[in-house]
Amino acid sequence: MTETKFDEYKDVWVFAEQRDGKLMNVALELLGEGYRLSREIGDGARVAALLLGDRVEHLVEDLYAYGADSVYVASDPLLAQYTNDGYTKVAANAIALFKPEIVLFGATHIGRDLAPRVAARLDTGLTADCTRLDIDTGHYMDYLETYTTASLSGLNRNDGNKSLKQTRPAFGGNLMATIVTPRTRPQMSTVRPGVMEKRERKEGAAGERIDIEVRLDAGDIHVEIVETVKAAKEIVSLTDAKIVCSGGRGLGDASGFQLITRFAEKVGGVVGASRAAVDSGWIDQSHQVGQTGTTVKPQIYFACGIPGAIQHLAGMQTSDIIVAINKDPDAPIFEVADYGIVGDLFKVIPELIAQWDGDAV
Ligand SMILES: Cc1cc2nc3c(=O)[nH]c(=O)nc-3n(C[C@H](O)[C@H](O)[C@H](O)COP(=O)(O)OP(=O)(O)OC[C@H]3O[C@@H](n4cnc5c(N)ncnc54)[C@H](O)[C@@H]3O)c2cc1C
């Protein structure tokens, strides 16, 4: 491994994932987070978007509007559709050339496919599926050296590069692990959709556009996309929902979701589920909330007959208001709930449906 010259690396980059010329929401969330991190790093650090595709220049203004100080654009017909080979080559070359200190990808199917390849090309680390990012002021590295067996000798702490603390659930979600990349740059993470806050759109915001020369030919791409088939089933949009009504095994059987669906329709929400309900075959996996499902951050989250296992909490505990309905008064969900209703959900939910005031949200 060649030695990394830390002081050559600057700025926070966000992979601006787009599909069919539309930006993915997670790219905007990451711009918000990248903006926050870059300002925390200081020293003139900026947040930039890396946009790959064909004829996607119309998205540049949107990226400025959501906080990008600059946008690196790689436009080429060979990038019209995502391919691991093509995108890896172009993204890795751009990162190697411009040397950002931090690179963030959404933990989408594409982000999870692309980021590890890029990290391997660049000979650097990658933390997958982060739920929290912070800039270390030096104390965390001191802590690691003092209290763990990590050998960090030889690292120059005064090199002006502050490390990124990348936090993600580990060991089945039973603890949160904070990971640093002390020896190499850039520091790379994938981040779950729905976890970070996007900035408020600022109409007319300006930035700097840098066009990247794409050195790609058809021989670089070893896959041929013959046809793109969109899932025929209805995909629920849990990530963007303002209200989520989730049901767990407390529903008794699959028919219990009829009540949850009625509840969601009444309150204008989307139906969520615990993994146990999904594993029981009561509802499709696309409804699952939690560590191995979708992360949600609605204004109101209703947890109905869900005790609040740590893996479920990992996907919903940053909701603005949590309402728990459970017949067990000792259910751990009540520890994170803003409102707790101890009772039989089959009695409580019909009452809520009857009483719901549509102006409440
Ligand atoms: C690696 C790993 C990843 C995981 N990922 C996820 C994940 O992403 N999402 C997830 O949800 N889980 C996940 N789990 C599973 C998780 O640990 C729990 O097993 C699961 O969330 C429990 O589901 P549940 O709440 O539906 O069921 P149960 O644990 O069976 O709880 C049922 C609850 O319903 C209540 N209840 C029963 N009847 C009624 C009634 N009539 N009225 C009111 N309340 C009632 C009971 O008091 C109880 O609290 C994961 C586990 C592992 C090991």
pLDDT 10s digits, 202-221: 999 999 999 999 999 999 99
Distance, CA of 35 to CA of 196 (rounded, Å)? 11
Residue 200 binned pLDDT confidence (cut-offs 50, 70, 90): very high
What is the pLDDT, as a whole number, of residue 148?
A: 67
Q: Which amino acid is at 263?
A: F
Residue 336 binned pLDDT confidence (cut-offs 50, 70, 90): very high
Instruction: Report which protein residue has its CA nearest ligand 1's atom 20.
Output: 276
Which atom of ligand 1 is found nearest the CA of 290? Answer: 8
Nearest residue to 282 (alpha-carbon basis) of 268, 303, 261, 263: 261
What is the pLDDT, as a whole number, of residue 14?
A: 98
Q: How many angstroms separate the alpha carbon of residue 321 from the centre of ligand 1?
A: 20
Nearest residue to 289 (alpha-carbon basis) of 267, 271, 262: 271
Q: Give percent above pLDDT 90 in the chain.
A: 75
SS3 322: strand
pTM for this entry: 0.73
Distance, CA of 48 to CA of 52 (rounded, Å)? 13
pLDDT for 149-173, tens place per residue? 666 655 544 444 578 999 998 876 6
pLDDT for 47-105, tens place per residue? 999 999 999 999 999 999 999 999 999 999 999 999 999 999 999 999 999 999 999 99
Sign, CA torsion 331/239/92/133: negative
Q: How many angstroms separate the alpha carbon of residue 309 from the centre of ligand 1?
A: 6
Which atom of ligand 1 is found nearest the CA of 345? Answer: 42
Nearest residue to 3 (alpha-carbon basis) of 167, 123, 172, 119: 123
CA distances to 230, 237, 293 from 270, in Å: 21, 7, 15
CA distances to 119, 167, 179, 186 from 122, in Å: 5, 22, 18, 8
Residue 201 binned pLDDT confidence (cut-offs 50, 70, 90): very high
pLDDT for 301-316, tens place per residue? 999 999 999 999 999 9
What domains can be seen in the chain, in order of their start residue?
A: 9-220 (3.40.50.620), 243-360 (3.40.50.1220)
Q: Running DSSP on this structure, what letter comes out for residue 270?
A: E
Tokens of 148: 């763990």
Average pLDDT rounded to a whole number, residues 91-120: 97
Q: How many angstroms separate the alpha carbon of residue 260 from the centre of ligand 1?
A: 16
CA 325 to chain centre: 28
What is the pLDDT, as a whole number, of residue 182?
A: 85
Residues with CB under 6 A from ligand 1: 172-173, 248-250, 274-277, 288, 290-293, 305-307, 309, 311-312, 315, 325-328, 331, 344-346
What is the pLDDT, as a whole number, of residue 118?
A: 98
Average pLDDT rounded to a whole number, residues 174-185: 87
pLDDT for 239-289, tens place per residue? 889 999 999 999 999 999 999 999 999 999 999 999 999 999 999 999 999
Q: How many angstroms separate the alpha carbon of residue 290 from the centre of ligand 1?
A: 10
